[in-house]
Structure 1
Amino acid sequence: MSTIVIDRITVRENTLECEIRPSADVARFFSGETFVTSYDRSIEDVPEGILAIPVLANVCPVAWANGADVYVDEVDASFARALEDVKASLLGMYDFLEGGTLYARRTIEPKPAAESIDGAESESALLFTGGVDSTCSYVRHRDEEPALVSIRGWTITPDRADDRKWDDLRNRVESFADERGLETAFVESNVLSALDHPMLLAHYKRHVDGAWYSSVGHGLGLLGLCAPMAYARGIGDLYVAATHWDGIDLEWGSRPDIDDNVRWSGTRCHHDAYELTRQERLDAIADYVESDAPSLELQTCNVRMDGNCGECEKCYRTAVGLRLSGLEPSRHGYAFVDRDYDEIRSALEGGEWVLGQDERHMWADIRDRVRETEPSSERERAFFEWLVAVDLDELVADARPPLSHRILRAGARNTPTRVYNGAYPTVKAVKMGLDRIRSVR
């Protein structure tokens, strides 16, 4: 029988550690590292059943993919029920998931913590990066003065190479919060190195449109990482901004039927702004810029965190969206000029960006707005006419990952665990090198 045991949960001031002990048949999906998550305030008074949530939230989807049972000493009763609801949603989404059972020696229902922040109880919090989605959610909930929560462990890894990116993100979020009198919370975790994410990708990439964490794990996983912090701060509502919107039925790890089910004692989670398309979220931001924040800058780039590169697909897509919402991109973080429309068309037609159905829907949303918009220049007119006429499905089909990546994944899937573990550093280095080469292009 496949099993995963969560063992020896310990806390030292603001740092949580625990061991993950998988049975041999699922061991390849775990690196052997101790699971570690750190917060910016003490969590020593948080009950063990809440402390188990971060690791359970990230391990359970791996268990469900393998039909494995998970064992833990203590768990919050509300979260245990939440896991059943999230499992049902994920199993309904993916045929390759098998399910599994959580076994706990004790379930607890602790009273919510009543700790206050600087003398004022924090009633809500928002996962925040400063991008379109999270900024729109802040605009929608700004009357609540939510604490802004940023997490290191997914797009910014715990590796020293990402220290600068994390510092840049923290500085930007702190500046945004200070200008508005908001609290911040920063969470750091080695979740994607405690899990063997390259092996998960190798085994399951063929079943999903994105990577393992984006397609399966990140809604439950990121919210779960926040549980000890939320309990310690007395946060009742935790918002995560929607990526997609109503009418897009994509297999994705953060959706209303996942995030809205996540809960633990004292806290409920909310998938926010799902009723708005990305362009409508930019409209909401544009209204906020006009009324309250004329110098607001967005940060959407995945290449850098100290500003936007202005040349990647996401930067170009956001800049076009800003123009369609009546904002000048150069005033809000994007050095965009009319001739960049030619660069976007060339990159899309040439397959220079690896696109999925996610991006296809984003560009379709832009195209819908283009049909209602009078272009302001000849270059813009030419791009709008091309976008209205082009087959977006063909653009996505032409933008496949390179063959070298597919070969690495296939090799990892079919390599015995002991052999793979010995070769893993080399495989990872090769893959990172290929990624760097592609990003330079």
Structure 2
Amino acid sequence: MSSLIIDRLSATDGTLECSVRCSGDLERFVTDEPFRTSYDVSIADVPPGVLAIPVLAQVCPVAWANGADVYVDEVDATFARALEDVRESLSEMYDFIDGGTLYARRTIDPDPETSGEHGLLFTGGVDSTCSYVRHRGESPTLISIRGWTITPDASDDDEWDALRTRVSRFADDHDCETAFVESNMLSFLDHPMLLAHYKRYVDGGWYSSVGHGLGLLGLCAPMAYARGMDDLSVAATHWDGIDLEWGSRPDIDEHVRWTGTRCHHDAYDLTRQERLDVIAEYVRDEDPTLQLQTCNDRMDGNCGECEKCYRTAVGLRLSGLEPSDHGYPFADSDYARLRRSLEGGDWVLGQDERHMWADIRDRVRETEPATPAERAFFEWLEGVDLDELISVSDPPLSHRLLRAGARNAPNALYNAAYPAWIAAKTGVRRVRSDR
């Protein structure tokens, strides 16, 4: 029987660590690296059943995709029920989510002391900044996580330092507290192999398409318990009317909970352009120098040349703001460069980006262009087939063949060859969330 076993769970001050053992058929999805997460608050007094939540939030979707059972000594009873609800949502979304049961020797119903604190996952992008504006009256604690778009590798230290500095400055300016979480949640699982097996079924990567709603929220559980945080929000990426297969949606995130804390999927009622409108109103009324950070390539500012920078700059203009005042070097001449890059397939775009450009196009149809360059771009965008912009960005055949080979390769051969090929050849660029 396929199985994953959580064992040797320990908590020292702000550090959580455990190991994961699995049956032979799942070995290719789990590395020899222990699971680790660190917090800037002590978790030494958090019950083991809550300490188990971060690792369960990462491995359960992998188990469900393989019909495997998961074993743990102790788990919070509320979270165990939440996992059943999340699994049901994922199984409705994906045919490959095939079941599997969580078995615990003990379930617990602790009695935490709640403080009324509201946490918000925050990067300073469009989505999380909009959520901050909507909830600013609650002075939410801004939570930033290292482990997905910024890896725990030393090579990413500068990017993490830049994000911490920027979020801390934002919090100081807006009278909020911060919480920083660091985890190896992507490297203790073999994400290249997960991608090799499941990329054919999903529009993005494993974590973005399947795991990140449950995974990111679950990482916060020991910290939230230690702080008495009773509400935890994650900003929506998509919006009502977009039925994309995506790892963070209301029918996933709204199910996530543990004793003392409920999670929420925020601003799903607003399109991305409408979220920019919320930010624009806030800028005009209260915070004229507000800076956003959404870049695919940098964390210490916006490059102004990647697809997300261009998309955000155009959206800011459509909301009546000047992009250069809010972190985006953008001029009229950039409209022509943007069009050439979209037509030329310079960026890997999926259905996610298609819907966001369609949202921009809807607003363009209601907007009078301010300059000839803007008029030319708006006219082009109104007439272009957005599906064609997506199709020119398909991954090369060599990548698809490699993934097919990896799915069927013996573990020993894969473990030696595939990660090295990925590191040396693909140069795949990480895509950053707006959150």
TM-score range, shorter chain: over 0.9
Q: Distance in 1 between matches of 2:357 and 2:334?
A: 16
Tell me, yes or no, if structure 1 residue 347 matches structure 2 residue 341.
Answer: yes
Q: Distance in 2 between matches of 1:392 and 1:428?
A: 30
Corresponding residue number in structure 2 for 1:384: 378
What is the deviation of 1:437?
13
Whose relative contact order is higher, 1 or 2, with alpha carbons under 8 Å and at least 6 apart?
A: 2
Tell me, yes or no, if structure 1 residue 247 matches structure 2 residue 241.
Answer: yes
Q: 1:295 touches 1:331 (CA, 8 Å); kept in 2?
A: yes
What is the deviation of 1:122?
5.0
Corresponding residue number in structure 2 for 1:72: 72
What is the deviation of 1:435?
2.7
Moved over 3 A (4+): none
Corresponding residue number in structure 2 for 1:264: 258
Corresponding residue number in structure 1 for 2:301: 307
Corresponding residue number in structure 2 for 1:318: 312
Q: Distance in 2 between matches of 1:225 and 1:298?
A: 25
Look up the equivalent residue of 1:435 and give its one-letter code.
V
What is the deviation of 1:397?
1.2
Q: Distance in 2 between matches of 1:174 and 1:218?
A: 24
Q: Distance in 2 between matches of 1:357 and 1:201?
A: 18
Q: Distance in 2 between matches of 1:436 and 1:268?
A: 34
What whole-Å deviation, never above 9, does each CA across 1:19-61 have from its counterpart, x for those lacking one? Answer: 1001000110011210000001110000000000000000000
Look up the equivalent residue of 2:25 and give its one-letter code.
D
Q: 1:122 touches 1:147 (CA, 8 Å); kept in 2?
A: no
Corresponding residue number in structure 2 for 1:277: 271
* SS in structure 2 of the partner of residue 89 of structure 1: helix
* SS in structure 1 of the partner of residue 170 of structure 2: helix
What is the deviation of 1:129?
0.2
What is the deviation of 1:403?
2.9
* SS in structure 2 of the partner of residue 151 of structure 1: strand
Q: 2:149 touches 2:430 (CA, 8 Å); kept in 1?
A: no
Q: Distance in 2 between matches of 1:431 and 1:399?
A: 18
Tell me, yes or no, if structure 1 residue 289 matches structure 2 residue 283.
Answer: yes
What is the deviation of 1:426?
1.5
Tell me, yes or no, if structure 1 residue 435 matches structure 2 residue 428.
Answer: yes
Corresponding residue number in structure 1 for 2:230: 236
Q: Distance in 2 between matches of 1:401 and 1:430?
A: 17
What is the deviation of 1:427?
2.2
Q: 1:125 touches 1:235 (CA, 8 Å); kept in 2?
A: yes
Alignment of 1:14-53 (within 5 A): 14-53=14-53
Q: Distance in 1 between matches of 2:340 and 2:173?
A: 40
* SS in structure 2 of the partner of residue 419 of structure 1: helix
Corresponding residue number in structure 2 for 1:189: 183
Q: Distance in 1 between matches of 2:429 and 2:61?
A: 29
Q: 1:129 touches 1:173 (CA, 8 Å); kept in 2?
A: yes
Structure-1-length-normalised TM-score: 0.96
Corresponding residue number in structure 2 for 1:220: 214
Q: Distance in 1 between matches of 2:164 and 2:313?
A: 23
Q: Distance in 1 between matches of 2:209 and 2:160?
A: 23
Query: Root-mean-square deviation (CA), in Å?
Result: 1.3
Corresponding residue number in structure 2 for 1:417: 411
Look up the equivalent residue of 1:62 and give its one-letter code.
V
Corresponding residue number in structure 2 for 1:117: none
Number of matched residues?
431
Deviates more, 1:24-33 or 1:268-277: 24-33
* SS in structure 2 of the partner of residue 236 of structure 1: strand
Q: Distance in 2 between matches of 1:437 and 1:328?
A: 27
Look up the equivalent residue of 1:362 and give its one-letter code.
M
Tell me, yes or no, if structure 1 residue 361 matches structure 2 residue 355.
Answer: yes
* SS in structure 2 of the partner of residue 201 of structure 1: helix
Q: 1:203 touches 1:413 (CA, 8 Å); kept in 2?
A: yes
What whole-Å deviation, never above 9, does each CA across 1:4-23 have from its counterpart, x for those lacking one? Answer: 00001001111000010010
Q: 2:70 touches 2:103 (CA, 8 Å); kept in 1?
A: yes
What is the deviation of 1:425?
4.1
Look up the equivalent residue of 1:27 and give its one-letter code.
E
* SS in structure 1 of the partner of residue 63 of structure 2: helix
Q: Distance in 2 between matches of 1:38 and 1:388?
A: 48
Q: Distance in 2 between matches of 1:287 and 1:154?
A: 31
Q: Distance in 2 between matches of 1:303 and 1:107?
A: 44
Corresponding residue number in structure 2 for 1:101: 101
Q: Distance in 2 between matches of 1:437 and 1:103?
A: 35
Corresponding residue number in structure 2 for 1:426: 420
Q: Distance in 1 between matches of 2:398 and 2:146?
A: 29
What is the deviation of 1:423?
2.2
Q: 2:296 touches 2:430 (CA, 8 Å); kept in 1?
A: no
Q: 1:4 touches 1:23 (CA, 8 Å); kept in 2?
A: yes
